Amino acid sequence: MWGSSGGYLGIAAITGDENGVAIISVSDEGIASTEIPLFLQIAVQQLQEYFDSKRTDFTFLLNPKRTEFQQKVWKSLVNIPFGKTITYLEQSKGLGDVKAIRAVASANGKNPLWIVVPCHRVIGSDGSLTGYAGGIWRKKWLLEHENPTTQQSLF
């Protein structure tokens, strides 16, 4: 999978059915399929638009299978604006329990919907890029893709 700003992130695997996308993951191994089921085509299209810098949110149906707590945590991730970040502590506070920071971080780590449920937008309290199942280098790439630094002109 290529982004418009260059760089290979890996092969995305999308799993789902007529009820929605259940899993989007990325790995360094695999073979890209040219046969995409009709009910997954919108997800593939929207992800490509994201990588082409033409999309900042997703509208296709999601259907992840997890616990009620995980669902609550993931729902809060969708509210983080494109190009912005929050800390795990801020996310825990937003969910109403600052003491649940480890459980929130754990739920983020089990997020099955890469990019679409943007756990990559959650960072450490010190601004560090921590805790990303897809690899810190991918988290860094995604954050830079969403908030590219532009060279300022001196003239």
119 is catalytic: yes
Q: Can you give the CATH number for the domain in which 134 is found?
A: 1.10.10.10
Angle between helices 101-109 and 68-78 (to 10 degrees): 80
- For residue 15, give the DSSP letter: E
Residue 97 lies in a domain: yes
Residue 61 lies in a domain: no
Residue 20 lies in a domain: no
**How many domains are contained in the chain?**
1
Tell me what the mean pLDDT of segment 7-24 comes to: 90
Q: Containing domain of residue 95, as a range? A: 68-146
The pLDDT tens digits of the residues spanning 52-65 come to: 999 999 999 999 98
Angle, vertex CA 152, rays to CA 149 and CA 155, nearest 5: 170
The pLDDT tens digits of the residues spanning 115-138 come to: 999 999 999 999 999 888 888 999
Q: pLDDT value at position 96?
A: 95
pTM exceeding 0.75: yes
Catalytic residue among 119, 122, 142, 143: 119
